[in-house]
């Protein structure tokens, strides 16, 4: 089966799907034959014209009512949801002693509470329709630690354990749950940090065994595989897409 048809007949929902990794995944799934809805807090001006075949749903993953209504809208438009990507999230890079509680709670509410609420609604619908596939966007910093990223590391490590716990609990319902754990990806956000001097691109590339950052399309291809029938026996796994970063312990 060609990559252009591996998701034919599937309906997919992607949270945080209007930019970065979420948009790359949404477009990859669409090219693979799926009907795709994106759920995002802000739908950019002109996004509907640029992507007329995507179903657009505005909502906040940290709000239980918003998430439930968003899933209801997606189901009413698409019908059965075969796959859901709990991708919405934010980064946080700040010395811990400068981190106030409101900032801590914000990263937890979006990255961890948002993942739970997304998985809960996906599980509720999929358990009633015979199963499906869920992917959580974790991070290599949910697997290994880094300084000045406490909230981010803790929230992403939480999504890693959420993935494993749900996978073993929901396997009997026909629901597969996996996570992708990207490393540094060349998104517009990362490019902006490089331009501002907050990230040293050369050092990041030197630290990565493959010698380069990962592209959004490479992350999207991995996610496409995980929700396809080719991955039907895979659940409870954390798939690192980091160019070998977490495997390299020398420097």
Residue 134: phi and psi, rounded to 5, are -125, 135
Q: Which residues contact 101 (CB under 8 A, 6 or more apart)?
A: none
Question: Is 152 a known active-site residue?
Answer: yes
Phi/psi region, residue 182 (left: phi>0; alpha: psi -120 to 50; beta: rest), is: beta
- Among the listed residues 152, 184, 248, 250, the single catalytic one is 152
Please, are residues 51 and 217 in contact by the beta-carbon 8 Å criterion?
Answer: no
Residues noted as catalytic: 152
């Amino acid at each position: 089966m060609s990559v252009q048809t591996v998701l034919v007949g599937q309906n997919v929902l992607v949270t945080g799907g209007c930019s970065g990794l979420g948009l790359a995944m949404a477009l990859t799934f669409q090219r693979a034959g799926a009907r795709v809805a994106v759920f995002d807090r802000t739908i950019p001006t002109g996004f509907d014209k640029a992507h007329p075949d995507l179903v657009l749903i505005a909502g906040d993953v940290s709000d239980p009512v918003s998430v439930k209504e968003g899933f209801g809208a997606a189901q009413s438009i698409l019908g059965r949801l075969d796959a859901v990507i709990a991708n919405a999230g934010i980064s946080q890079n700040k010395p811990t002693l400068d981190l106030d509680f409101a900032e801590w709670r914000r990263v937890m509410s979006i990255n961890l509470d948002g993942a739970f609420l997304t998985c809960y609604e996906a599980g509720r619908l999929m358990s009633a329709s015979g199963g499906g596939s869920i992917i959580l966007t974790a991070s290599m910093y949910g697997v290994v630690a880094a300084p000045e990223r406490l909230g981010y590391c803790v929230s992403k490590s939480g999504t890693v354990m959420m993935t494993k716990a749900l996978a073993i609990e929901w396997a009997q319902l026909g629901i597969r749950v996996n996570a992708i754990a990207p490393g540094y990806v060349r998104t517009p956000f990362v490019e902006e940090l490089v331009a501002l001097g907050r990230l040293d691109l050369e050092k990041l590339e030197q630290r990565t065994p493959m010698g380069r950052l990962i592209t959004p399309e490479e992350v999207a291809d991995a996610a496409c595989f995980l929700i396809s029938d080719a991955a039907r026996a895979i659940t409870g796994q954390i798939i690192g897409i980091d160019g070998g970063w977490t495997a390299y312990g020398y420097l």
